[in-house]
């Protein structure tokens, strides 16, 4: 299980940006100008670390209970990193009193989120040229 830290954007920026750009911009071809937004400064950011201290995954929790920007470096996928990040963000939402969390899942990751207790809502839609599905989890 990776070590997870919850951090403000000023402390997470360098490592979270590196991971997000590797996954979203380089792998998925999301335009770099839409990857970073002004919400980052208002979010709780999770960083996952490998045993050697390298940051290998990230995600964020917005003030309204939306979880987003979930990203894990390719070599670390399928090893519980994403689950650990997601659960840490869900716990952070619950501890501040949120009654639910929501997210926009890329459709290839729907089963991952279902295993974590999320339920799909509405129709599939496109965001940054990638099919997404709204999902929620009651806390």
Tell whether 48 is covered by a domain.
Answer: yes
Tens of pLDDT along the chain (139 residues) come to: 899 999 999 999 999 999 999 999 999 999 988 888 899 999 999 999 999 999 999 999 999 999 999 999 999 999 999 999 999 999 999 999 999 999 999 999 999 999 999 999 999 999 988 999 999 999 9
Tell whether 125 is covered by a domain.
Answer: no
The total number of structural domains that make up the chain: 1
CATH number for the domain that contains residue 8: 3.40.630.30
Give 55's strand partners. 49
∠ at Cα 48 (44, 81), nearest 5°? 115
Identify the domain containing residue 52 by its residue range. Answer: 3-98
What are the backbone dihedrals phi and psi of residue 39, each rounded to the nearest 5 degrees, phi first?
Answer: -75, -25
Tell me the pTM: 0.95
Tell whether 30 is covered by a domain.
Answer: yes
């Amino acid at each position: 299980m990776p070590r997870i830290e919850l951090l403000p954007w000023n402390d997470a920026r360098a490592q979270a940006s590196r991971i997000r750009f590797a996954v979203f911009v380089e792998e998925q071809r999301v335009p770099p100008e839409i990857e970073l937004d002004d919400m980052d400064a208002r979010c709780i950011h999770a960083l996952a670390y490998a045993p050697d201290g390298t940051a290998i995954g990230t995600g964020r929790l917005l003030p309204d209970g939306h979880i987003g920007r979930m990203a894990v470096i390719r070599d670390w996928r399928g090893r519980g990193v994403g689950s650990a990040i997601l659960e840490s963000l869900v716990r952070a939402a619950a501890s501040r009193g949120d009654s639910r969390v929501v997210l926009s899942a890329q459709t290839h990751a729907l089963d991952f989120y279902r295993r974590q207790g999320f339920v799909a809502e509405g129709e599939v839609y496109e965001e940054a040229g990638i099919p997404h599905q709204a999902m929620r989890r009651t806390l």
